[in-house]
Amino acid sequence: MDKLKRVLSGRDAEEPSSLGEVIDATSLGWGTRVKGFIACFAIGCLCSLLGSCLLWVPKKGLTLFAVFYTLGNIASIGSTLFLMGPMKQLKRMFEPTRLIATTVMLVSI
């Protein structure tokens, strides 16, 4: 479990002690990160499900679907920010092997 925590937090190699202390003092605890991930992911799933249900509302159904489904996707993708951190996630999203998938996803939203 400790190795999984180190990989997801971006601490594969040992860091100098002073830098490690600064990072530990300014970052969220592991339990807080997991709770944030679960909450944000659940909100994203709920919004996506609500958007799918609102698709059948007469006249405004397509607009409501687009808004709630988009918010759900953004919240679900954003939930991983709690586990990895924003900069590490952006670096991984725009790696050469993932660039096409990232571009298609962002354009689709």
pLDDT given for residue 30 in this prediction: 82
pTM of the model as a whole = 0.68
pLDDT given for residue 28 in this prediction: 76
User: Which residues touch 78 (CB under 8 Å, ≥6 apart)?
Assistant: 40, 44
pLDDT digits (tens, 9 = 90+) for 73-90: 999 988 988 888 888 888
Q: Which of helix, strand or coil describes residue 53? A: helix
pLDDT digits (tens, 9 = 90+) for 10-67: 665 555 556 555 556 557 788 888 899 999 999 999 999 999 999 888 889 899 999 9
Q: Which tokens sit at 26?
A: 């300014």
pLDDT given for residue 44 in this prediction: 94
Residue 106 has pLDDT above 60, yes or no: yes
